[in-house]
Amino acid sequence: DAKTTQPTSMDCAEGRAANLPCNHSTISGNEYVYWYRQIHSQGPQYIIHGLKNNETNEMASLIITEDRKSSTLILPHATLRDTAVYYCIATESGTYKYIFGTGTRLKVLA
Amino acid sequence: NAGVTQTPKFRVLKTGQSMTLLCAQDMNHEYMYWYRQDPGMGLRLIHYSVGEGTTAKGEVPDGYNVSRLKKQNFLLGLESAAPSQTSVYFCASRLAGGSYNEQFFGPGTRLTVL
């Protein structure tokens, strides 16, 4: 599994877009990028995943660079409820496990 | 659907005591996982199972045993608890195969070993 690197913490104003970067420079061609978040001490919650193309769902957008060495999770209109730790994970399709890392602690400010 | 449930939610043990954590899922998922999360850290995989009757070691398996006698249940055992096993334990499950392999997590079990 590719190692991922994320900033330790970020702040974002409520209503603004939150852009969370992730570096995965050693990612291989068949490794997907997944994003999960963990609110307080709850179990992690899936947000989005992608391989090569940009992806969007009702929660967020995922922008993956052409060389696939980095990606950005975008929360288009952050709310206070989006305050959480966000984990970027690279893992092989169909593999049994994720390597979580320490994630980015996002704080949305009123 | 209840999703993934964990029993108990909290537990305090003395060093050397044993206990079993139960994880149950009602989504008919083939794969199940046990993670631990220490303060300020990400999740680390302890053991996992890819089907009934099968188990395998993850990143940090020492001091733990697991069993998957029924597809819907995954048990994590601590035979002789140590203070280093104080942590929050999360169970997860997912469908087998495919490129879309989202894991569904339980609410966690907070274990303190004195």
The residue-averaged pLDDT of A33-47 equals 93
Q: Which residues of A touch B40 (CB under 8 A)?
A: 102
Q: What is the pLDDT of residue A92?
A: 65
Q: Is B33 on the interface with A (CB under 8 A)?
A: yes
Cis peptide before B8 (omega within 30 of 0): yes
What does the mean pLDDT of chain B come to?
Answer: 93
A93 min Cα distance to partner chain B (Å): 5
Q: Is B39 on the interface with A (CB under 8 A)?
A: no
B71: which residues sit within 8 A by CB, 6+ positions away?
Answer: B28, B30, B51, B52
Q: Which residues of A48-63 are buried (b: 16+ CB within 10 A; e: fewer)?
A: bbbeeeebeeeebbbb
What does the mean pLDDT of chain A come to?
Answer: 90
Q: What is the pLDDT of residue A1?
A: 61
Residues A84-98 pLDDT 10s:
999 998 876 566 777
Written as six digits, the tokens of A102 are 């320490």
Cβ-count burial of B14 within 10 angstroms (0-12 exposed, 13-18 middle, 19+ buried)? exposed
CB atoms within 10 A of CB B98: 9
- Whether A25 has a pLDDT exceeding 90, the answer reads no
CA distance from start to end of chain A: 37
- In order of A7, A23, A76, A96, the CA distances from A17 in angstroms are 17, 20, 4, 33
Residues B52-100 pLDDT 10s:
999 999 889 999 999 999 999 999 999 999 999 999 999 999 988 765 6
Q: What is the pLDDT of residue B28?
A: 94
- Whether A26 has a pLDDT exceeding 80, the answer reads yes
Q: What is the pLDDT of residue A85?
A: 96
Q: Is B48 on the interface with A (CB under 8 A)?
A: yes
Q: Is B105 on the interface with A (CB under 8 A)?
A: yes
- Decide if B42 and A46 are in contact by the 8 Å CB cutoff: no
